[in-house]
Structure 1
Amino acid sequence: MLAAGAGRRFGRPKALVELDGEPLLRRAFRVLTDGGCDPVRVVLGAQAAEARALLPDPSIAVYAEDWATGMGASLRAGLRALSRDSAPADAVLVHLVDLPGIDANVISRLRAFASPGVVARASYGGVPGHPVLLGRRWWTDIADSARGDRGARDWLATREDLLLVDCSDLGSGADVDTPSDLTT
């Protein structure tokens, strides 16, 4: 899960923002685990100590030293941490902390396509969105190309093998940019 941003447009880190009495960080973590993701790693940056305290196990946190340069830094940090695991997973499901409309059903639907060579992402009404499922085969390429706030967007744009997994029946995939976006 990418949760390192300062939330400049929001006014504070979105990982710490509460919706219905639950911090978005905990909500996204719960959605990932309920959707079958294991292990889960959470990439932190802005106010990392406060965010780490919200995790059920602080050891799952990955600190992105250069988090302020954008989502690319968070993605690189997460992929490199997963690559160092003694038994790396076949694929990683990249989820963003600011997507409270994503539920475990979306996660499960994407997870069904997990394999070392997969390149898949959720789509809503034909529009590509998150989460994104990336096979282990591509982690180094993606980490090497992730820059600024674009994360894997540029790398994904080059993929003829990108599988769009329709999740329109499960949600909108809308993110939270401002406090007014937090409607349940």
Structure 2
Amino acid sequence: MTNTVAANAIVGILLAAGRGRRFDPLGQRNKLLQPIDGEPVVVHSARHLLAVLPRVVAVVRDGGDAVAAQLAALGCEVVECTEADSGMAASLVHGLRHADAAAGWVVALGDMPRVRPATIAALARTVEQGADIAVPVYRKEVGNERGNPVAFSRRHLPQLLALAGDRGARGIVRDNIVNEVVVDDPGILLDIDTPPDLQ
């Protein structure tokens, strides 16, 4: 199903369908629902997208009712991906198909709750101004380090929809011209992979 959005709109795609096996190999604790500053990880991630973008499509796993409920309550458009276990690419493609009329997308990860809204805004603005790919870079004392989220223009939609496996869009970023957006935001490098990361 394709939803019509304004021709100049950048849409957020929030990937929240992973199993988080590194966080909990037994699958008893969903890392996206663990609290940080009193709210679930995924709520922070979604709230920062919603603060900037008029529409956010959140991709959850089939049966991920608790995550879906949190995101729907915030105002995300929640879609279930039955192929989520085949890798991140399946979730990304699923989300893009629900927002394929957009001018571009900011692809964010549900387990990165510290990304600042200002960073998301800068990425969206860079694509609106003509960039095909915008990647945030955190300026450190020794060189720059790229992080997430990543923004794409419509030009890369065919490549994005052809993705498969667990590498997501890394190959597209690697093989194309990228606009690096320098941000003062260490959150672009901080994801929740293991329980200590919640600290």
TM-score range, shorter chain: 0.7 to 0.9
Look up the match of 2:116. Answer: 103
Give unpaired runs (5+ residues) of structure 2. Answer: 1-13
- CA shift at 1:137, angstroms? 2.1
Map Cα deviations across residues 137-175 of structure 1 (whole Å, 9 max, x no partner).
21121120x22221000121110x2111112x1224211
- CA shift at 1:94, angstroms? 0.5
Q: 1:118 aligns with which of 125, 132, 143?
A: 132
Look up the match of 2:44. Answer: 27
**Match of 1:182, as an amino acid?**
L
Root mean square deviation, CA, Å: 1.8
Map Cα deviations across residues 1-36 of structure 1 (whole Å, 9 max, x no partner).
0000011011133322221210112111110111x1
Map Cα deviations across residues 94-143 of structure 1 (whole Å, 9 max, x no partner).
01011122111111111211237621111223222101001122112112
Give unpaired runs (5+ residues) of structure 1. Answer: none
**Which has the higher mean CA deviation after the structures are superposed, 55-64 or 101-110?**
55-64
Look up the match of 2:6. Answer: none
Say whether the 8 Å CA contact 2:57–2:77 is kept in structure 1.
yes
* Alignment TM-score, normalising by the size of structure 2: 0.81
* Alignment TM-score, normalising by the size of structure 1: 0.87
CA distance in 2, matches of 1:93, 1:43: 13
- CA shift at 1:93, angstroms? 0.4
- Structure-2 change in CA distance of 1:123 and 1:46 (3 Å): farther
**Match of 1:121, as an amino acid?**
V
